[in-house]
Structure 1
């Protein structure tokens, strides 16, 4: 009913506003005033050339820097509000997972590659953890949907997100400062200053500070970010432009938190689980005294006792650095672009969102160099040729402390990747174009790591056959095994030692991986574009994408192979009614093979761990409709509708039987000591069937001032948010509505705005980490209702 209400309201507004626009235009013509210019043209560089987004024959969503600021976007997880095809999950600490139409990265460690490429200022970011602290003073965001098989650096099976900062401007002294304050003691400051140094040089310096209390009762899901960026632009001649930049950001606070949804009680005789809700509100964080008391009711079957309170020493102290440059040299035969870049991240954080403590210490460093040449037309042909080189090294020390089980990982990983690429456009007529592209990529990887798993195993049982060691101590959070103290005596690998006189033992299993991995792949794109009119573009394409294989620190799953996706797209982009109506339609079908899926499971040695394997094959189909209507010169209506049908055609894996059966909503069969788990037929997770964004903006002129009101809402239908496909991981459909009212002069030198987001005050579940040892389900949720005031000054 609500969908029909919003759609009907939008339709009535559109029809009445169109009549008003016709009257307004006629009145202007009679008075001799110029008519409105229509919808804004947004220039994008998604295809490595400057063009209107309406002339780009690719599936793309574009968000301007002003829209980013108005939506209050400060972190990658906020992008889901304004890009219907995108879902971004906070996975604890600095970890982020990106999903586009059900395609994404399941793992977030330092030795796996993302499926959605995030590019900052033209530079590929190898680690999803390095995507914070970027969303300020932006020119725009470009979200490309589907594989990027020819023009983009690495591993873009699902899509790419281009984060493009505002650039220095020659001969201009300008800048802005924006500040907002709201509930949860939320402070958001950002600003920029553009200064000319001479006729041929300019500098731009910008920065941001975000400080907000946590959304949960224990202070988690807070935000503390500081970032600064500097850029220098030099144009020594009309043919050469040089730009260099550097940036730094820091993330602090406690990081994302979660709450207990409930626990799965196991009947040891039947092997069946029954879900028992916790009764705790979604606002009660895991470290709240009430939640800590609840935690002590969780039974750790392997240890034969209940869980202990979580160690509450959680924090983030993550630092990110980067330098990049861009040279553009226009010649008589084309334009040469060279982009060198260096980036470094130093991660140090503890998080507890999955109901155990993860202690991450990691250093990431990458160097990349891209050179491409956009040639001037030769006969009917336009072309781009390029080369790309990427060198990354990662060093990590991880502790995952689950009380009855501690995992210690030490690793070093290196990746070297190179590519040659090209794209040719044949302009068969003034209206018809055929496009072909190829990219040859070579990936060379090396991984050296060791994982030690220590498990507290109870050897005593009660009369019902249930493990029973009520006095056994649980493993503390430590940096390494050597930090453990009595009564824990760390045994040699593959052996066990008694834990005092508790009738429990401490076992140790070691997995070492020392392995190279090489992949070489040819990816391609074929497309056709036809101009139906000067403002209507019909396009179709087929593109092949690839993501390289990788490593896991788990016995039997040490390496996994590349995954592939082939995407078929047909689309229509229109500007109608004198450039006042935008109507874009896209239909797509993605064929996903050898899908890499990461999960927490039991490895071949019977130990719990996180690993990836090629167990997925899926089909993704859908339609997306994007429309904007400038009903009058002061009334803008927009709607974006996505229908998505996804299905795992094949999702079957095995795991050894442990003391407790696997916790899954999928079908499972036991054959000897091996479980076969079949999730085939389920939809992709993080992929709602329906997503609808509606927005309206109205401007009222008051003398030399104006009042701008805006209203937006988003609907997402039910969807799974984790791959266990448990009934409790199916999130019901929801709406999220925001509103803003801004006042300022017509010249927009300043304005003051009041805003509210999530009027419904729904804490929507976005992730459901399972604490396997305690058979507990936790929930990470979106922000509750937030509101505040924002002031902006420009000069």
Structure 2
């Protein structure tokens, strides 16, 4: 053969041709010319969507929408909701604290964490909104398509769709034919997957479909203490549907989906910290070691990407550690010369010798995470054609969700910290006699009923919830031949949730036993057991009793009445009523007008259960009860909101396109307000707390959008473009203040551009790309306290840690604090071990000072901090960018199919990247999130004649570990930062068979 003939034989069937250049050099040129047979290429069927709750071609819908069919999901290896960002412009996703997630569209997501907070992106199952769901934790199976609608959808989808909608459309039973499929997969990390379905026609009008999926794999992270993988998966899902279609005018379907998971999934990633050491002097005044921790935050601001970020918090600054090392709350006895002996020695730092791994996938804790979840969705759909032009649709839905997750709260391994109270020479005074002190810490070990026995600091949390939802929607839809049509409906939703968040700490229990149950310590001489271990529960405020009830049960069997742990109970009930309608006017062959309105009435009732950590009646206790969690009166909130949209779309006949749609729209969105997590159930006069209004306002958005959807080159090329501008009022964002989520409202604007294209030059070759450009800005006059920087450059003020039963740091003038510290230092006499002057708390919050006599500090007399009771100086947020809003996102992908005999080999590559963004509204150095990317490859070998498919894929090809988001914990836990990361490199191989 000639060279040209050989190449032609090799390229046969690929769509490429060879020609020989008739020049003296005889060079053979391979040209990417389309052969004659390719001219017959079919661009493929039109994608049908239900974005407007009726079936329409995607290119005819005047909404920015990205659609993922079952085939697209498989080709791009999008296996769950968290990966939809790879195919949708201006979308960002990350897990967040407390088992929640943030799916944001065009810079708007769910940054508020209260149980009464609605998601800004409505998550729907077959067009039914779900308040609580597992659609971002389970993996997709037997899915017809996923629709991602960008922009407010307040007319048809309702109250909580201010940013957009993610609608998962499952495949339901079809009486048409018997079909089935089975897919088996294995991969690295011991991954094993199985999924399949059967569609069984019972009669010509009745069918049943059963589908299921199972995933099991080892953990992506490693615990260097227990030597176990964590963050593994063991989950399964099943879906059953029955469809009855007795004639062409009626269709009924009943769907049930169940999801279940039980594994060692970790809710959060590693904790980072720029260590903030305890000062030895402040303002030139020498500091006693036992007081230094009061002037350290634990962690200070710093970039999450520096080596210093892998530090550990200053454990000597944690109020619960300080309490067990100083004063009456830490005294376990005294020596013969009456020198105090404390449960934890002065200035002990449980993490002083701890070095964190720089690997974001390695943690060090004695406590492995546990995760359990169950979710059920039941849906009944009835479609009745009153006549060929009028259809009545009924959709009834019920869901329930149960959730249980516990993990190490700090993820830092402690050194031994407890005093050995079994050693000789530790006494208590009984009458006039010295007798051995109560042996509370035998061998330097403390046994906590929830966390077990340890020589060091232990902490864990528990998040558990149960919820249920009922919903009903009726719609009347027309399809007249005339210029006017409509879509009218009413909607009702009823949602209840009971959620608990616990934090357990062995120093909480230890301090409670010393301070309340082993003697009050008021004289500093008696350390005796004065309370029964199982003190009876007191149910009502004011019942009295100074003994602190310590729950004797392990974590998985707690009774929930203990005051030796932090418990935030959140109970809420939401009722929502709505009436909506859209009118469609075909003004001409090319011009259409859509006008829609929706009125929503929301009623939210919250039952507050204030937290009771280390609270009992009395001055030192500062509470009303010694056990239990009494409820305060219900908080009922009501809102009525009118939302809607107005769209003009134009479909001209253009010479350079096959089909074009141009549209301009205005839409109004609304998301209900709610209440923050309950406050602290304290006697405000005793502890100086100032309760704030627990309610936060609803948010509203006015959105303006213009767009164009174009089909060119005989259907081979789609090119869509969108420009938008949003004006937000009272956007909801939360942070941790006083051990609770505090939601704040900000005005903001967002604007940007989006481009999407799909090009199929041949049946075998395709390209897809999308680009999102985004800018955001917080409105003028917006302010908030940054818990990481409460001073905001005011050098004449100083930050101080709180007393044990309080929660948040405070600020005070140096002019008041320094003389007080100087007095303590002068009072100190090294030759006299009896005198150990110490701060027992300096945060007033309302004018009450626990720091000692002779210092008068009333924050209300100071203009800048009076309105927030001394919590700090507010940061100016005007002009800052919204969190989780990267300036750009880009995704490019290509695939090429090579036919080999009766097989098709398809090569697929995708690359996604997003720009820099911020984790919080403060845009501080510790908030910056770097840009990151994700490359994915797949090789699919398919034999169409036998419906047999093999696939080898690699996800996160470069094994990057970007930080996708970050969350700062409370003041009294050291202001550590939880970070969330991308999954590591995943390699998988699957075999699938359809029949």
Q: Same fold (TM over 0.5)?
A: yes
State the 1:378 CA deviation: 6.9
Aligned to 1:460: none
Tell me what 2:976 maps to: 776
Higher mean displacement: 624-633 or 692-701: 624-633
Query: Structure 1 435/493 Cα, relative in aligned 2: closer, same or farther at 3 Å?
Result: farther
Counterparts in 2 of 1:55 and 1:353: CA distance versus 1, 3 Å: farther
Which 10-residue stretch deviates more, 619-628 or 716-725? 716-725
Sort the Cα spacing of 1:441 and 1:350 in 2 relative to 1 into closer, same or farther, 3 A.
same
Deviation at 1:777, TM superposition (A): 2.6
2:840 aligns to what?
none
The aligned runs of 1:122-161 (5 Å cut-off) are: 122-128=127-133, 131-133=136-138, 135-161=140-166
Aligned pairs for 1:598-747 (under 5 A) are: 598-601=734-737, 607-614=738-745, 616-650=746-780, 651-654=782-785, 659-660=800-801, 671=865, 673-675=870-872, 676-747=874-945
Query: Is 1:589 matched with 2:725?
Result: yes
Distance 1:239 1:595, change over 3 A: same
User: Cα gap change, 1:52/1:15 in structure 2, threshold over 3 Å: closer, same or farther?
Assistant: farther
Q: Report the secondary structure of 1:761's partner residue.
A: coil
1:675-708 deviation per Cα after TM superposition (whole angstroms, max 9, x unaligned): 2122332211111101110000000011111100
Please report how far the alpha carbon of residue 122 of structure 1 lies from its aligned counterpart in structure 2 after TM superposition: 1.9
Is 1:260 the equivalent of 2:271? yes
Indicate yes or no: 2:186 matched with 1:181.
yes
Larger radius of gyration between Structure 1 and Structure 2: 2
Counterpart residue number, 1:467? none
Query: What's 1:468 paired with?
Result: none
Equivalent of residue 320 in structure 1, options 375, 382, 393: 375
Secondary structure at 1:578 match in 2: helix
Q: In the aligned structure 1, how far is the partner of 2:368 from the partner of 2:633?
A: 31
Relative to 1, partners in 2 of residues 1:685 and 1:411: Cα closer, same or farther, differing over 3 Å?
closer
Cα distance in 1, alignment partners of residues 631 and 312 from structure 2? 30
Q: Distance in 1 between matches of 2:809 and 2:749?
A: 26
Of 188-197 and 121-130, deviating more is: 121-130
Deviation at 1:453, TM superposition (A): 4.6
* Structure 2: gaps spanning 5 or more residues: 1-14, 19-28, 224-228, 284-294, 323-347, 352-363, 412-458, 509-564, 680-690, 791-798, 803-807, 811-862
- Out of 351, 368, 390, which is 1:334 matched to? 390
Local SS of the residue matching 1:768: strand
Task: For 1:578 and 1:491, locate their aligned partners in 2 and report how far apart those are by CA, in whole Å.
Answer: 77
What whole-Å deviation, never above 9, does each CA across 1:31-62 have from its counterpart, x for those lacking one?
A: xxxx1111542110010110111111101111
- Describe the shift of the 1:418–1:541 C-alpha distance in structure 2 as closer, same or farther (beyond 3 A): same
C-alpha distance after superposition, 1:275-323 (max 9, x if no partner): 57899999x9xxxxxx9xx758644342335357866153111111121
User: Partners of 1:124 and 1:354 in 2: how far apart?
Assistant: 35
Structure 1 residues 233 and 281, CA, compared in 2 at 3 Å: closer, same or farther?
farther
2:104 to 99, 103, 106: 99
Displacement of 1:74 after TM fit? Answer: 4.2
How many angstroms apart in 1 are the aligned matches of 2:886 and 2:774? Answer: 7
Match of 2:349 among 306, 309, 315: 306
CA distance in 2, matches of 1:353, 1:281: 22
User: Deviation digits for residues 624-647 of structure 1, max 9, x if unmatched?
Assistant: 000111122210011100001111
1:410 aligns with 2:513: no
Per-residue deviation at 1:787?
0.9
Q: Tell me if 1:438 matches 2:597.
A: yes
Q: Which among 370, 391, 394 is matched to residue 497 of structure 2?
A: 394
Structure 1 unaligned segments of length 5 or more: list them.
1-13, 30-34, 285-290, 456-489, 499-505, 602-606
Separation (CA, whole Å) in 2 of partners of 1:189 and 1:700: 28
| 1:266 positional shift | 5.5
Distance 1:277 1:528 in 2: 47
Aligned residue in 1 for 2:169: 164
Partner of 2:230: 220
Q: Is this contact kept in 1: 2:38–2:762, CA < 8 A?
A: no
Contact 2:313 2:974 in 1 (8 A): no
Query: Aligned partners of 2:949 and 2:492: how far apart in 1?
Result: 45
Are 1:542 and 2:666 an aligned pair? yes
Q: 1:134 to 1:28 in 2, by over 3 A?
A: closer
Give the CA deviation at 1:577.
0.7
Match of 2:467 in 1: 364
Matching of residue 51 in structure 1 with residue 175 in structure 2: no
Match of 2:961 in 1: 763
Q: Secondary structure of the equivalent of 1:66?
A: helix
Question: Which residue of the partner structure matches residue 788 of structure 1?
Answer: 988
In the aligned structure 1, how far is the partner of 2:635 from the partner of 2:957? Answer: 52
Which SS does the other structure have where 1:633 is aligned?
Answer: coil
Q: Are residues 58 and 397 of structure 1, via their aligned partners in 2, closer, same or farther at CA, if it must alter by over 3 Å?
A: same
1:723-769 CA-to-partner distances (Å, cap 9, x unmatched) read 45342331222221010111121336011111111112111101222
Q: Do residues 236 (structure 1) and 246 (structure 2) align? A: yes
676-685 or 256-265, which moves further after superposition? 256-265
TM-score (norm 1): 0.84
Rounded to whole Å, the distance in 2 between the matches of 1:222 and 1:353 is 18
How far off its partner does 1:142 sit? 0.5
Aligned residues of 1:321 and 1:345 also touching (Cα < 8 A): yes
| CA distance in structure 2 between the partners assigned to 1:335 and 1:21 by the alignment | 54
Task: Please say if residues 903 and 943 of structure 2, whose CA atoms lie closer than 8 Å, have aligned partners that are also in contact.
Answer: yes
- What's the CA shift for 1:532? 2.1
* d(CA) in 1 for partners of 2:409, 2:56: 43
**Structure 2 CA distance, aligned partners of 1:512 and 1:368?**
29
* Range with bigger deviation, 253-262 or 510-519: 510-519
Q: Higher strand share goes to which structure?
A: 1
Deviates more, 1:297-306 or 1:49-58: 297-306
Listed as ranges, the matches of 1:433-472 within 5 Å are 433-454=592-613
In the alignment, the residues of structure 1 paired with residue 67 and residue 668 of structure 2 have an alpha-carbon distance, to the nearest angstrom, of 23
CA distance in 2, matches of 1:372, 1:571: 28
Aligned counterpart in structure 2 of residue 344 of structure 1, from 389, 400, 410: 400
CA distance 1:680–1:403, change in 2 (3 Å): farther
Write the distance in 1 (CA, Å) between the matches of 2:64 and 2:630.
46
Distance 1:339 1:248 in 2: 19
Using the TM superposition, give the Cα deviation of residue 712 of structure 1 relative to its aligned residue in structure 2, in angstroms: 0.4
Specify whether residues 493 and 611 from structure 1 end up closer, same or farther in structure 2 by C-alpha distance, changes over 3 A only.
farther
User: Would you say 1:530 and 2:540 are equivalent positions?
Assistant: no
- CA contact under 8 A between 2:152 and 2:669: conserved in structure 1? yes
Farther off after superposition, 779-788 or 229-238: 779-788
Q: 1:298 to 1:86 in 2, by over 3 A?
A: farther
